[in-house]
Amino acid sequence: MIIKGFEKLSLSDYPGKVSCVIFTPGCNLACPFCHNRDLVKNSLKLKPISENNVFEYLNKRKGLVDGVVITGGEPTIQKELGSFIKRIKSLGYKVKLDSNGTRPDILKILLFPSLRARARSNLSIQRHPERESMPQPSLTWRRIPDLTELPYIDFLAMDVKTELTDYAYKKFGLKTGVSPIIKSLNLAAKSTLPVELRTTIIPKLHDEKVIQKMAKQLSKIFFGPSPSLRSVSTGRSNLSDDVILGIRQLPETPESDPGQVLRSRATQDSRGARMTRDETPPWPFRVRPGRHNDKVKWYLQTFRPGTCLDEKFNGVKPYSKEEMQKLVDAAKPIFPSVFLR
Ligand code: SF4
């Protein structure tokens, strides 16, 4: 594992834990506003830190430090990441991983290690007497996830740079399109781990419209479409985000008349289906209750100019605290667990 930075004590990088922070060099994105220029572009100039030094420290600090944060650059491009994390965990530390979400293949292994490790035979092949004389199909193997096996990591922090479209992400140097990011977000939503999403707000690139669009997309991934649309009107959700997010909260209906409840929901749904882009929130947004609602937090963080990858961004003035708060307020009705950092 290549390590180019080691912060021995941090009270802010791992929520609720005293942690140390390990910085890995290099990144597969080239965000123009990235302030980790040295770590991303000039890492050869930085002095490497040996794994032994890190583990010597971790051995000494058992019981005093709770967790280890692995950040970058982009840690998932490091070959030895899995074994490195396992070694840290064998000492009893919690591990938080910061990632840009471009390597869903790696995140999948870290979040659901058993997906890779287990395979069982599919024994459901029927042996019909008439088929005995015929060549039998060979046993097929399929992977069966054992979700009882613990994931390698304990906390995932992931960047969501901008709205989830190929065009928007290309501006951030991601040539493969946005699909790996969406895959990673879906994995994070399915996992049982707490998840922190982070967006650095750049005045030229993020405004209320963009933030609301992001909020809708993230809501759909983490909270799912409205259950009433699926269960009452169509039986499945094939409506667009805007329609799903455009439904108003149902009016109070006496419980004594269940037919009325269904009728009013159906009317509500048909209203929803006619809604247009301009009619989206600030109406109350109905979040599907479930385990994900309190497990994901989305932070909008203020941009810090000075050492940006692209010099042009060093002259960009960050939004004020009030302007940042307006963005949070715009997203809140759609994605309730959004905060300012
Ligand atoms: S800001 Fe972008 S370029 Fe910088 S480390 Fe994060 S993902 Fe990589």
Residue-range domains of the chain with CATH: 5-340 (3.20.20.70)
Predicted pLDDT of residue 282: 34
Where do the H-state alpha helices sit in the chain? 37-40, 51-60, 81-90, 104-111, 114-117, 166-170, 179-190, 208-223, 227-228, 241-245, 258-274, 321-331
Q: Map tokens 């080239």 to a residue.
A: 30
Q: State the pLDDT at residue 177.
A: 84
User: What pLDDT, on a 0 to 100 scale, did the predictor assign at position 95?
Assistant: 97
DSSP E strands, 270-328: 296-302
Which token pair is 292? 């994900």
CA dist 241 and 96 (Å) reads 31
CB atoms within 10 A of CB 257: 11
Strands (E) across 11-64 are located at 19-23
pLDDT of amino acid 44: 87
Residue with the smallest CA separation from ligand 1 atom 4 is 34
Smallest Cα–Cα separation from 157: which of 13, 315, 307? 13
Q: 97 CB under 6 A from ligand 1?
A: no
The confidence score (pLDDT) of residue 21 equals: 98
- Best of 74, 77, 103 for a ligand 1 pocket test (most atoms within 8 Å of beta carbon): 74
State the pTM of this model.
0.74
What pLDDT does 224 receive?
81
Amino acid (one-letter) located at 115: L
* pLDDT score recorded for residue 112: 85
Q: What is the pLDDT of residue 330?
A: 96
Looking up tokens 């490195």 gives 84
Going by C-alpha positions, the residue among 204, 127, 194 that lies closest to residue 156 is: 194
- Distance (angstroms) between ligand 1 centre and the Cα of 34 equals 5
User: By CB neighbour count within 10 A (0-12 exposed, 13-18 middle, 19+ buried), where does 158 fall?
Assistant: buried
Tell how far the Cα of 65 is from the centroid of ligand 1, in angstroms. 27
Whole-number Cα distances in Å, 219 to 37, 59, 206, 226, 286: 32, 41, 18, 10, 10
Radius of gyration from C-alpha coordinates of the chain? 24
pLDDT tens for the 341 residues of the chain, in order = 999 999 999 999 999 999 999 999 999 988 888 988 899 988 888 999 999 999 999 999 999 999 999 998 999 999 999 999 999 999 999 999 999 999 999 999 899 876 655 444 333 334 444 545 544 444 444 444 454 567 899 999 999 999 999 998 887 777 778 999 999 999 999 998 999 999 999 997 899 999 999 999 999 999 886 544 333 333 344 444 443 333 333 333 344 444 444 444 434 444 443 333 333 333 333 444 444 457 899 999 999 888 898 888 898 999 999 999 999 999 999 999 999 99
Evaluate: CB of 25 within 6 angstroms of ligand 1.
no
Bridge partners of 22, per DSSP, are: 6, 70
The neighbour count for residue 252, using CB atoms within 10 Å, is 7
Distance 252 CA to ligand 1 centre (A): 48
- End-to-end CA, the chain: 30
Backbone dihedral region of 8: left (phi > 0), alpha (psi from -120 to 50 degrees) or beta?
alpha
Q: Is 158 in the pocket of ligand 1 (CB under 6 A)?
A: no
